[in-house]
Structure 1
Amino acid sequence: MSLLTVSEAAERLVVSSRQVQNLVASGKLRQVARGMLDETSVERHMAVRGGSHKRAWSEATAWGAVALLSGGGAEWMGESQRSRLKGRLRELNAAGLAERTRERADVTRYAAHSSTGDRLLGELVYATNVADRLGLAATNSVDGYLAAGDVTAVVSRHGLIRDDEGRITVRATSTNLVIVRDLMQRSVVLAALDLAESLDVRERRAGLDALDSALEAFRG
């Protein structure tokens, strides 16, 4: 594990040390010792935020964006909200979309026993055949959505250990998982957003390309 001091993280993120401490407090960055941060958590934060300091959309708006780009109706939003969001989506590129929708879930990565993955998949909402659909090689990583209120129990039941380089990614959301599952099945947009946060260059590129295609079709 590579470490960064608070000041080094602040310099890399182009923010103040106080802002870094706020990111630690909110769980966006991982502090592993007093004044020392896990470098991988900083890199992941940079991958999502890019060079932008714009505020992310609320969780409801982020999921609304996923729904609209996936051909859904985002029924939980009012008519005027949907209209404004459609206008915003027509102005965004893929990187901007990934940055603005990052609050759709709280993302935590874990390490676990090699046999845990298959059992865990039974409790997560995840994309199937995403590698084939986006032209990527299959991996043994596990990546899926879980109701925020169930995370503690699932982590305990499967013996998951927090590790920013772990192969298991849990995305905790307060959005109804029925909605998440429907959007995951409708299109590759949600899976592409997840890939756009990856530190793997090929995965990130595949995610961004798929998002650009979805935005272009939406502007249509």
Structure 2
Amino acid sequence: MLLRLTDRYAVSVFPYVEASTGHFGQALGPGARGMLVERLAQLNTTRALLRAPAHDPALPGRAAIEAAPADPQRFRADAGPYARRCQALLTINSAALRPALERYDSGTAQLTSGASTATTVVTHGEPHPGNVLDPGGRSLLVDWDTVALAPPERDLWLATDAPEDLSRYAELTGHRPDPELLAYYELRWALDDMAAALDMFGTRHPDTADTRQAWEGLVDAVAELVEKG
């Protein structure tokens, strides 16, 4: 059921489903991965609604990522327990992070160019195990605030990297996933996480479970970006 509140906002209500869910970062087994890929194939071949938003690949925090290592005042010691650690992490890895930003910029330019032939479909945006319900032998996607029109690789990179799953997706949809786009959306995710953490640690913050998780996520994101150059 959909109830429109204003011209801008609406509330949707769905029947309660008693089912288990996973968590972000969880490695799915072959069977669960296969069901998720089939669900994404179904979603990605759904006719787009007229008002479906187009996903903007531009990274809102891109400038902050580039500027942070060069701005010692960006992370003041009195901002919180992770400010200086954040500054040190970025300073040490600044040279290694630059190629990642260049790869991202190049991929964005190609994707948004008039010559791009990338397929555009309805995508979920965050199809990780924490957003998948399993009410017994099937999969249901929840948390639709990131739905948008984009290449299917926006969903697929997060769902699986197994060749057999990607082949199954191609069999179901007729679209063979592009390895470069899969890598591009994986890179964008890491940079997006990084930008969110920089925003948090550049302002006053306490030492809580949330900030500890954000710090661990930032360390992981930087390590991944440095490793892949």
TM score, norm. by length of structure 2: 0.28
Higher RCO, 1 vs 2 (CA within 8 Å, ≥6 residues apart): 2
TM-score by length of 1: 0.29
Structure with the greater alpha carbon radius of gyration: 2
